[in-house]
């Protein structure tokens, strides 16, 4: 079993965006899904802009659908909220579930729409089983984009919904 120190080091290197250090620690026996002292894995604390580290962790067996123990967010939620489309692509390639909701009922699409991240919305909307789904507050991705004045995201979602009506 890897030591807590090794797990903390792996998570720290991941959070700082140090790919070579991440790879070295994995070679030394750090467990890719092992928790650090805050009960987070290296993928859960990764510097999201570093899609190469995300790719390396996933290639080493990191769980792309691991949830934050508090808010039930996945890394896909985090990357979508922050607008890291390359990271979202990597996660999807490694079987990340874009249809999982957090503890507030938000899909990754809700978070990308709320923040106005067009590339992420464009990527997720066709992969999301129900882009009309309301979150726990009753807001759809379109409603969040509209309410947060993300006009382009709202228009993109509206166009997708018009082109893909609900079939009964």
pLDDT for residue 167 = 55
Q: Give pLDDT tens digits for 77-101.
A: 999 999 999 999 999 999 999 999 9
The burial class, CB within 10 Å (0-12 / 13-18 / 19+), for 53 is buried
Tens digit of pLDDT for each residue in 117-159? 999 999 999 999 999 999 999 999 999 999 999 999 999 999 9
Instruction: Report the C-alpha gap between 126 and 109 in whole angstroms.
Output: 10
Q: Quickly count: other Cβ atoms within 10 Å of residue 148's Cβ.
A: 15
**In the predicted structure, residue 37 carries a pLDDT above the cut 80:** yes
Structural domains present in the chain: 1-63 (1.25.40.20), 64-168 (1.25.40.20)
Burial of 39: CB neighbours in 10 Å, binned 0-12, 13-18, 19+: exposed
pLDDT at position 168, please?
45
pLDDT of 40-79, one tens digit each? Answer: 999 999 999 999 999 999 999 999 999 998 889 999 999 9
**Own/partner pairs, 129-134, CB within 8 angstroms, 24+ separation:** 129/99, 130/99, 131/157, 131/160, 131/161, 131/164, 132/161, 132/166, 133/107, 134/105
């Amino acid at each position: 079993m890897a030591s807590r120190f090794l797990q903390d080091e792996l998570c720290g290197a991941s959070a700082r965006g140090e790919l070579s250090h991440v790879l070295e620690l994995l070679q030394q026996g750090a467990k890719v899904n092992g928790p650090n002292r805050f009960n987070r894995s290296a993928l859960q604390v990764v510097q999201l802009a570093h899609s190469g580290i995300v790719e390396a962790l996933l290639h080493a067996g990191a769980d792309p659908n691991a949830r934050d123990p508090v808010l039930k967010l996945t890394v896909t939620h985090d990357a979508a909220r922050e607008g890291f489309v390359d990271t979202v692509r990597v996660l999807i390639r490694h079987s990340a579930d874009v249809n999982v909701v957090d503890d507030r009922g938000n899909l990754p699409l809700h978070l990308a729409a709320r923040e106005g991240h067009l590339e992420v919305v464009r990527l997720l909307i066709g992969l999301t089983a129900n882009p009309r789904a309301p979150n726990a507050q009753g807001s759809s991705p379109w409603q969040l984009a509209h309410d947060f004045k993300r006009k382009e995201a709202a228009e993109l979602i509206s166009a997708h919904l018009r082109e893909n009506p609900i079939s009964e």
